[in-house]
Amino acid sequence: MDKEIKVTFPGGLRVNAEYKGRTIETDQPVYQGGEGSAPAPFDLFLASLATCAGFYAVAFCQKRGISTENASLVMKTERNPENKRIEKISFEIQLPAEFPEKYKSAVIKAVDTCSVKVHIQNPPQFETEVKIG
């Protein structure tokens, strides 16, 4: 195994993940029976996708000496009202007016290489087992 994440259950519907020396806390929203004390796991999933895309945008700009002072990235999702699943995710890279036009398609390509997105597009195998004792 390459990496291991230890998951613990500290009470209620809270679920924590121990990874690389850090504790990532999650909880369910109040309307789902949780305390709302931390982001829900699905919220972290979405945030990881958005921040990964943002990382590739900022890295692209930094490599070229382009300021990101007034830059940002907005991720929007569209859900299917019947099954409540996300059907579309879009990224809007918001760049300052002085961003060079010649890099517009290149920064899109950079954001499209986000490793979280690539894993969704080419998903790994999943395996679940039970170990007692």
pLDDT at 1: 59
To the nearest whole percent, how much of the chain has pLDDT over 70?
99
pLDDT at 3: 86
pLDDT at 2: 76
Q: Could you tell me the mean pLDDT of each successive run of 10 residues in the chain, 133 residues long?
A: 90 97 97 97 97 98 95 97 96 95 97 96 95 94
pLDDT at 39: 98
41-63 and 104-111 helices, crossing angle to 10°: 140
Calculate the CA dihedral of residues 118, 120, 121, 125 and round it to 10 degrees.
110
**pTM, 2 dp:** 0.89
pLDDT at 41: 97
DSSP character for 32? G
